[in-house]
Structure 1
């Protein structure tokens, strides 16, 4: 059995504020809590609903319903993935896709770039061909190395039907948007086409680990992690989430697997003081039907997006969260915040959506009627995520914002 080095977690100073130590609820908070008590039961969300609202600055719980009960969070789980990735790696973190040479072979080496485009690979091939010609090489074997991540597997709680429409097998080499079974091979075939177009003859690509002593030919640097996290949250990109989970694991010197990644996430959340009793994580995207998240934990995680103590690293989260009725998975094209009463909160709520069969969730932040930041989480299990359910969740968020 491989021995994994002790995790490296960035030092985080947390000043906990208990509800009993807080100065008490504002009049606006009391009014909001009363409305939530009435509206959750009448919101056509079914009987298996949990929720919580916190005042971010004080840490006080404003309202809670079964806040410590774990339910399937669906894609709201990506909030935890984002927090962990940014904390461990930092918003400016980048990775490289490289082409190296050894003994008549070019190796295309994946670095886990989650937004690698075909244009990026084309540029890399052009630069690689130029260097090869300068060295007198016009015919090479072509290998590809995606061994940075462990071989793809289904996470606990996933089913094979997720491939290829919902998520691709997780690999360290992939053109963004590609959902084929072997994205590394597909990327390498495209790279080969571009080398050929630049006058380099290549053989049939084969998977192989890069040998020691290889010579660098060319490289492509990824976009910064901040950009990737924002895109992942805004459009709920499952592939990016799972890639970031593995990069986070590597950043803590853990195995680049589901288990290594989720252990890394938990280690980071503990450092922030997030309550993890009842929380079970098996992936980074929230696709697992075995994942469990409490409203207590989810509202606390969402609050980190606007907690002034952590903005040096976590600022991309708020910028990446979908805005009510404006963009991402909360845009009107998804039928969110389109009708009264929730439409009063258009542009005022920043939140991550979550949707699976029988699962609907919404977690994020907004400023309440008292002008203070509130974090919230509402999760429902058992009812199909229909338009009625989505509108009900939007209405609860509008209640937190105070316009309804």
Structure 2
């Protein structure tokens, strides 16, 4: 999000820290019974560097004493604890968390032994650590090699002479990775096939997913923003647009508003004014729940830099239909009708089959960058692939069945969405460590832990623990909402015996910075016997 030197821009409330997605790879294959060749095309490519197994470090029996000192309470400990190195952090913890709810647990993965626990059975809001459940179930039930396959069809045979008769229909299968580049490759392939005219319209069929496309309690304060987008069987650019507001050409004139990609779904109501550089910005962007009108109001100083904000799109499948129609016409392919939503005809001719990147790459993108869009799409995919119903509720049933089948504890826990934005999500630290320890032993275990952010290296942990013994030795999922801060994953004190840990905090006073510093110290204590792990000044 951009900011101006003289512009005060208010961040969206409760926004998770990061939802940037790395590019994903996809391919197009053409299957056409009338002189259309069967071909596969690479669209984009994701470079996910696979980290080799963790290097040997000090054993867990040496470091648990430091972890205990973090909390200043009794815990179960096996082996001889190391010398405490965190007296300042221990003293800081007690007054900081006196009004907060906390839960933590550390489990030895190989044996399942609980090495440390505090309030481990207290159900707390997990924020984005809830994505661990989606990642684990998707990899285990669908497989890392699973790819979305989206048919692009026509309702009549190819007529020749460059004409496709009837509509061109995108039959949505929930692929979350479609972008403008994907649409461009579809257009390019149609042009290669000699298509010059479409006698009907571009139609997107998003009926595979149920009518509830957002979390029931996400609320209007979140739903306008990019991280609280609608789920859809046909997606485009994470089902969000980038809105840029720049000062007008003169005082009193409206600021310039641009939307990328250009939207045929969103209307713009711009009542904002360009004001003197001496005045403060009062710029506001809004979209009421259920509305297709973007409201731009307030004022923007004449010398302000452009303000850039990601916003969710209503009816994202219709947005995709508009953008595909625009690209076809821009490429010189005439489209007679206007884009709309509809159902895939019963009798069709396959023009293209668009394949996504392998699921392991999509899960990696979701986990490392805490992508809410990918999480919600994968949840509904689990629903229709495993429960024959493309809804969040069905996806949660699939997750619960997966946990039950593998004996992974989920007692006293509840999920109502896939991304963790709902405050009705409730998990315990013990349940998170049970998930981590259980998935480690499954065939998908390596793909699961490799998908997680690595401390000091990438994803939402890129800027954390860089100068700590934990750098490179912690693979963990972050989770942040207002008043909620979580971290759960794996610590590697040695190469053969990883630890599963979870640290949740709810309702703490002030910002999350202090909690993150405490979590970082906790992680460092799990992998090294440091003598200099003092906390930042309160």
Larger radius of gyration: 2
Q: 1:150 — aligned with what? A: 210
Task: Indicate if the aligned counterparts of 2:150 and 2:172 stay in contact, CA closer than 8 A.
Answer: yes
Q: Whole-Å Cα distance in 2 between the matches of residues 28 and 228 of structure 1?
A: 37
Q: 1:9 — aligned with what? A: none
Q: 1:123 — aligned with what? A: 185
Q: 2:389 — aligned with what? A: 255
Give the match's secondary structure for 1:388.
Answer: helix
Task: Indicate if the aligned counterparts of 1:254 and 1:261 stay in contact, CA closer than 8 A.
Answer: no
Q: 1:89 — aligned with what? A: 142
Q: 2:453 — aligned with what? A: 322
CA 1:95 to 1:30, structure 2 compared with 1: closer, same or farther past 3 Å? closer
1:172 aligns with 2:237: no
Shift of 1:146: 1.1
1:361 aligns with 2:486: yes
Give the match's secondary structure for 2:177.
Answer: coil
CA deviations over 1:186-229 (Å, ceiling 9, x no partner):
21112112222343222211110101011111121100100000
Q: Whole-Å Cα distance in 2 between the matches of residues 392 and 56 of structure 1?
A: 23
Q: 2:169 — aligned with what? A: 107
Q: Whole-Å Cα distance in 2 between the matches of residues 45 and 209 of structure 1?
A: 54
CA 1:296 to 1:101, structure 2 compared with 1: closer, same or farther past 3 Å? same
Shift of 1:354: 0.4
Task: Indicate if the aligned counterparts of 1:369 and 1:402 stay in contact, CA closer than 8 A.
Answer: no
How many residues are treated as equivalent by the alignment? 369
Q: 2:519 — aligned with what? A: 393
Normalization by structure 1: what TM-score?
A: 0.85
Give the match's secondary structure for 2:314.
Answer: coil
Range that drifts further, 385-394 or 67-76: 385-394
CA deviations over 1:166-191 (Å, ceiling 9, x no partner):
22111011123341222211211121
Q: Whole-Å Cα distance in 2 between the matches of residues 254 and 209 of structure 1?
A: 18
Q: 2:112 — aligned with what? A: 59
Aligned alpha-carbon RMSD (Å) = 2.2
Q: Whole-Å Cα distance in 2 between the matches of residues 386 and 349 of structure 1?
A: 20
Give the match's secondary structure for 1:254.
Answer: coil
Give the match's secondary structure for 2:238.
Answer: coil
Shift of 1:245: 0.3
Q: 1:313 — aligned with what? A: 444
Q: 2:325 — aligned with what? A: 192
Q: 1:266 — aligned with what? A: 400
Q: 1:19 — aligned with what? A: none
1:275 aligns with 2:409: yes
Q: Whole-Å Cα distance in 1 between the matches of residues 325 and 469 of structure 2?
A: 53
Q: Whole-Å Cα distance in 1 between the matches of residues 319 and 358 of structure 2?
A: 24
CA deviations over 1:289-315 (Å, ceiling 9, x no partner):
00000001111222345x2x31x3232
CA 1:193 to 1:329, structure 2 compared with 1: closer, same or farther past 3 Å? same
Q: 1:375 — aligned with what? A: 500
Q: Whole-Å Cα distance in 1 between the matches of residues 346 and 470 of structure 2?
A: 57
Give unmatched runs, 5+ long, in structure 1. 1-24
- Partner of residue 212 from structure 1, selected from 336, 343, 346: 346
Task: Indicate if the aligned counterparts of 1:32 and 1:399 stay in contact, CA closer than 8 A.
Answer: yes
Q: Whole-Å Cα distance in 2 between the matches of residues 399 and 280 of structure 1?
A: 30
Task: Indicate if the aligned counterparts of 1:131 and 1:217 stay in contact, CA closer than 8 A.
Answer: no
Give the match's secondary structure for 1:121.
Answer: helix
CA 1:319 to 1:176, structure 2 compared with 1: closer, same or farther past 3 Å? farther
CA 1:40 to 1:163, structure 2 compared with 1: closer, same or farther past 3 Å? farther
Give the match's secondary structure for 1:68.
Answer: coil
CA 1:49 to 1:240, structure 2 compared with 1: closer, same or farther past 3 Å? same
Q: Whole-Å Cα distance in 2 between the matches of residues 150 and 68 of structure 1?
A: 34
Shift of 1:144: 1.1
CA deviations over 1:90-138 (Å, ceiling 9, x no partner):
10001122211115111122221111221111111222354473xx854
Task: Indicate if the aligned counterparts of 2:457 and 2:466 stay in contact, CA closer than 8 A.
Answer: no
Shift of 1:346: 1.4
CA 1:291 to 1:346, structure 2 compared with 1: closer, same or farther past 3 Å? same
Task: Indicate if the aligned counterparts of 1:53 and 1:377 stay in contact, CA closer than 8 A.
Answer: yes
Greater helix percent: which structure?
1
Task: Indicate if the aligned counterparts of 2:214 and 2:231 stay in contact, CA closer than 8 A.
Answer: no
